[in-house]
Amino acid sequence: QVQLVESGGGLVQAGASLRLSCAASGRTFSTYAWFRQAPGKEREFVAGIRWTIGRTDYADSVKGQFTISRDNAKNTVYLQMNSLKPEDTAVYYCAASTIASVQMGDMDYWGKGTLVTVSS
């Protein structure tokens, strides 16, 4: 049974850092990605990583601020978030795809999400 379990969310002040984790079980996928959904907004892509080659992709809004990485031995993907801003407040979802794509529609499995709240 495939599971993606996110952790690491919480309440922080603006300027702080958080690291989200996504522990995958059941199988290994071609691509893992983080998406987020802020209150009243649509879910959006944040960052993605190709499991085998480690290639990364980022939304323009988080380039230079967030870093996605993976630990092959632990089958875990991370999202390091620095210099957090109130507009980064959202539920962050981990997702996985069997193909080399970071498109939301190509994700095959989703975690339940972890809430990140950034206060000003």
pLDDT number for residue 98: 95
> In which residue are the tokens 């802020």 written?
38
**CA 99/CA 67 separation, integer angstroms:** 21
- Write out the two tokens for 45: 């892509």
Q: What is the pLDDT of residues 76-107, one digit of tens each?
A: 999 999 999 999 999 999 999 999 999 999 99
Cα 106 to chain centroid, rounded: 15
DSSP 74: T
Q: What does the pLDDT average to over 64-85?
A: 96
**CA 76/CA 69 separation, integer angstroms:** 9
pLDDT number for residue 65: 98
Q: What does the pLDDT average to over 19-33?
A: 95
**CA 31/CA 51 separation, integer angstroms:** 6
